[in-house]
Amino acid sequence: MRPFSRKKPKLSEGERARALAFLLVGACSAALGFLSVLNLDRTALFDGLTFYQAWIIFASGLGGMLALFLSGDRMGQSGRGGAIRALAGAIWVTFIGALIAGTLGLPFYGTMFGPFIVVVTLLGAPILALLWAFNLLGVHFLLAAYQRERDSIFAPAQTGMSDHPESLRKRLQGRLT
């Protein structure tokens, strides 16, 4: 069967930035989940991961991506208000992602222990917390590129009509001074 379109759909720069932001949050959330698994069971690195531990790592990555999706427009806004919203979005992604991952990992107890384990892991390794913060700062900048592109689609074009020779400003220039 012939494809409907022979052209491959190309993503714009903003869409690629958004996809990279989701990929970064998913990968770093999965790494944080892996470190949490190692924090609970130190022999998991050398003995191999069980299916349940692999599920926890996968659920951590999925939880981070879902939390970024659910954060809406908290990340990627410009200005002072955008920075405050990005801080709130970073906290949102961290704790809601841990909540989702904990719920997927262990439905009732994991909902409570997921955020607790993330806090213990981040407080136990300040460098890891710093890396997580820089990751979320990078995600904010990537989503800012997406937001700028999205805003430019709906913003009115700058046509320069005030400098047009037939404009009222140009015709009255020098007459009403």
DSSP string spanning the chain? ---S-SSPPPP-HHHHHHHHHHHHHHHHHHHHHHHHHHHH-TTHHHH---HHHHHHHHHHHHHHHHHHHHTTTSSS--HHHHHHHHHHHHHHHHHHHHHHHHHHHSTTHHHHHHHHHHHHHHHH-HHHHHHHHHHHHHHHHHHHHHHHHHHHHHSPP---GGGSTTSHHHHSTTT--
Q: Is the pTM of this model over 0.95?
A: no
Express each pLDDT in 149-167 by its tens digit: 888 887 665 545 555 555 5
The domain locations on the chain are 13-147
Give the length of the chain.
177
Separation CA 136–CA 164 (nearest Å):
45
Express each pLDDT in 46-66 by its tens digit: 787 788 888 999 999 999 999
Which pLDDT does position 121 carry in this prediction? 87
Would you place residue 98 in the very low, low, confident or very high pLDDT band (cuts 50, 70, 90)?
very high
Lowest mean pLDDT among 41-45, 77-81, 130-134: 41-45
Q: Does residue 71 surpass a pLDDT of 60?
A: yes
- Answer whether 75's CB lies under 8 Å from 139's CB: yes
